[in-house]
Structure 1
Amino acid sequence: MTPLPGPVAADPSEPVAVAADLSEPVAVAADLSGPVAVAADRPVVRLSKSQAGTGGSITVTGSGWGARRLLTILICGRSVPSRGVVGGTDSCANADGRAVTTDARGRFTRKLPVAEPPRPCPCVVHVATVAGRKAAADALFMVAGHSVEPLPREETGGRLSVLTDTRLEGSGTLLTWFGSPPARRFVFTVGNTGTSAVQDPVFQVGTAHGVFAPRWEEQQWRGTIAPGRKARISLPVELAAGAHGDYTVSLKYGGKVLAEQPWGVGRPWGVTLFWVLVCVVVPGAVFRAGMAVVDRVRPRESLRHAGRPGGLRLPRPAPRAPRSAHARPRSTKAPSKHTSTPVLPWFTPDSDPGTSAAGRLSAPHKNGPTTPTRRGNT
């Protein structure tokens, strides 16, 4: 009879981390006729290197994730495999993360660039599912040259649970109507169901817009909650400037989501009104200013000299009298020196009032007397 083999030993040159499915208990199945096998739904992560510097890359392999599952791979700071990612994805280098889809046997291999996370080490390579049944696994990793700080003290014995009384308090202001960041206070009551007191608990408040994943932010409440006691806690919640639409505010403690509250944010119509006024008022003001400049620059016909003040108007010349139908055409010859009759500018020589038709003198003959004779009826 073939003896049963001993326990399987991992390769010491490769860091191995195994994390259970978050939605189901761990299940390990052993085959009595062969070597010990790990259940297919137990995710495993392996790294090609346990330490690398920024600019390099590592190869991440995994198994037991299920067939055709979409996964995300991130380097996260302030984390250890036993406690998970402290602070959520805000502690991870999200911009340098990678996505991968498992094959039909639930395995994957993906190259990951090494980048410094926003939080100090200890660091892990965090692999988690994107949709469907939740599962995650972490492998310890060291980013060379990155700062290292001890993790915050983990509370043991104390367990907090949120009661049914949760709500958002506060309202918008006039500044919010003009695009200022909307702000509320998430008020809830927690009770300590553990055997020891919880002192200065750190909660994670997340805000999610529509179907997007929540963005988590750590907030610490100052106080002590004794076993069997409850406390009313109020934490500030603020969105980005100009945010509007349907949001969901979530509360997480100890890796568990304790409460969720919907938040409908109105549109900042003041911003729209401002831009409408800008598009209407500014062109009108520019047009009026341009017309004022044109009115000052253009020459004035009413002034003889541009520099004379007062704007005096010169008299216009009187219009000429219309010619009579029987009037003789003006002679083109120069007037005689002996002619003493003045010629005014508004009268023609033929229409001089001093010489009427009855009293007009006849011109002297060349060889006759010089005495003028009157014309009369013969």
Structure 2
Amino acid sequence: MTRASGRLIVATLTTLLLLLPLGGAVADESAKPVVTLSRAEAGKGGEITVKGSGWRPSALLMLLICGEASPAAGVPGGTNSCANADGRAVTTDAKGRFSRTLAVAEPPKPCPCVVHVATVQGQQASVDAEFKVAGHPVAPLPKPAPNAGRLSVVDRTVRLDGSGSLLTWFGAPQARKVVLEFGNAESAPVVDPVFHVGTSHGVFAPVWEERQWRGTIAPGKRAQVALDVQLPAGAHGDYLVSVKYGPKVMAAQPWGVDRPWGVVLFWLLLGIVVPAALFRIGMAVVDRVRPGAGAVARVVRRVPRAPGAPGDPRASARRRTVRPEEPAGAPAAAHSETPATGAAVLPWFTPDTAPGAPSPHAQVSAPHESTTNSPTPKGNS
């Protein structure tokens, strides 16, 4: 063996060794989800172990026992035909594997039954494993709806058209149109197909609503289908909008809904305005029922001014009044009126009643005439 051929062999082996991990990775990525059951039949109250592989790493899965279903047809009735109250959730590991114990419960629909395993968030993936619930009624599968299964999604791109308004900012229901393109690969036209639009939030199952699209899709043609979707009032957070035609989910689109901040602002203002109004009403009631300042103020306003008090217009006139029966030379203070007994007299001072001055109400006596200056009657010596 020559040196050149040896180098060629070494280079070839090195290339193969480098490509082996890539091939393994491609195989893992292209692997389909698989579900296996520990038992194919069990009665109500029993338990089975559900194992899976080939799922997305760290994916949240939902495990349900559903009636009127089969691995080939799936679950035509959606989660309404499943025992939702007895379902379980599980998260896959880093390699996309899981193992979970599931309690056996009777679904609301008759068998044939399956163990339905589906992703909750992100890219939709589901697997149905055949299972028999012992003692549960069995009935034929319902017939598919007209035109079901004749349409296929041409473009996986799903669009949500529309926007919110001022009312949605205050909690009104959010409404959009989910738009996707379907094609008819059959030889007969599809007239007025019926779809189901579902909205799910978190780990909850989708709530399906029937939507009929008015129109005809001719054989070999495609059409853009727009379906109405609406959330309940006050809804916010991460939602997933799914479109199902017949038993198969055609597409899914995440929908992030903003919080209705108008409602938050309303409650914040209500929490400020109502206590302030109650405080003002309470203070008004306290001022009305409390004895004291208010009553005293009203009494003071009703007390009449005393004669001779500052501001009384009768004071100056009374000081200038002279009674006819009194001599002209009598002091003016003697003619001032004495207030009636019991009248309210405030401690106010007038110029005539300053401290230290004689009281205007004091008894004033007539001046005594001097005997020396008085004229002597005639005849008296």
When normalised by structure 1's length, the TM-score is 0.57
Structure 2 CA distance for aligned equivalents of residues 63 and 43 of structure 1: 4
SS at match of 2:219: coil
Q: Does 1:171 align with 2:163?
A: yes
Question: Which of 36, 49, 62 matches 1:44?
Answer: 36
SS at match of 1:233: strand
Structure 2 CA distance for aligned equivalents of residues 132 and 248 of structure 1: 8
1:255-287 deviations in whole A, cap 9, x for unaligned?
665445564534322212211221222122212
> Structure 1 residues 218 and 91 mapped into 2: Cα distance closer, same or farther (>3 Å)?
farther
Q: Does 1:194 align with 2:222?
A: no
Question: Which of 144, 154, 159 matches 1:153?
Answer: 144
Question: Which of 280, 296, 300 matches 1:301?
Answer: 296
> Structure 1 residues 204 and 281 mapped into 2: Cα distance closer, same or farther (>3 Å)?
same
Any conservation in 2 of the 1:90–1:215 contact (CA below 8 Å)? no
Any conservation in 2 of the 1:87–1:218 contact (CA below 8 Å)? no
- Aligned residue in 2 for 1:243: 235
1:138 maps to a residue whose letter is: A
Deviation, structure 1 residue 112: 0.7
Q: Which has the higher helix share?
A: 2
Question: Which of 76, 90, 93 matches 1:86?
Answer: 76
Deviation, structure 1 residue 25: 8.0
Question: Which of 45, 56, 59 matches 2:48?
Answer: 59
- Aligned residue in 2 for 1:366: none
> Structure 1 residues 200 and 151 mapped into 2: Cα distance closer, same or farther (>3 Å)?
farther
Identity %: 43
Q: How many residues align?
A: 292
Question: Which of 240, 263, 270 matches 1:278?
Answer: 270
1:86 maps to a residue whose letter is: P
Question: Which of 136, 141, 146 matches 2:132?
Answer: 141
When normalised by structure 2's length, the TM-score is 0.56
Deviation, structure 1 residue 158: 2.1
Unaligned runs of 5+ residues in structure 2 are 1-28, 306-343, 369-381
Deviation, structure 1 residue 251: 3.0
Q: Within 5 A, what are the aligned runs for 1:1-378?
A: 43-47=35-39, 49-52=41-44, 56-60=45-49, 72-89=62-79, 91-99=81-89, 110-117=101-108, 122-128=112-118, 136-142=127-133, 150-153=141-144, 158-163=150-155, 167-198=159-190, 201-207=193-199, 215=206, 217-221=208-212, 225-245=217-237, 247-253=239-245, 258-261=250-253, 263-299=255-291, 300-301=295-296, 312-315=302-305, 317-319=345-347, 324=356, 354=364
> Structure 1 residues 222 and 238 mapped into 2: Cα distance closer, same or farther (>3 Å)?
closer
Any conservation in 2 of the 1:123–1:143 contact (CA below 8 Å)? no
Structure 2 CA distance for aligned equivalents of residues 178 and 107 of structure 1: 43
2:212 maps to a residue whose letter is: W
SS at match of 1:172: coil
> Structure 1 residues 319 and 250 mapped into 2: Cα distance closer, same or farther (>3 Å)?
same
Any conservation in 1 of the 2:62–2:87 contact (CA below 8 Å)? yes
1:292-348 deviations in whole A, cap 9, x for unaligned?
3223323422567xxxxxx844555231777659x9xxxxxxxxxxxxxxxx7x87x
Cα RMSD after superposing both structures: 4.9
Structure 1 CA distance for aligned equivalents of residues 58 and 297 of structure 2: 88
Structure 1 CA distance for aligned equivalents of residues 270 and 52 of structure 2: 60
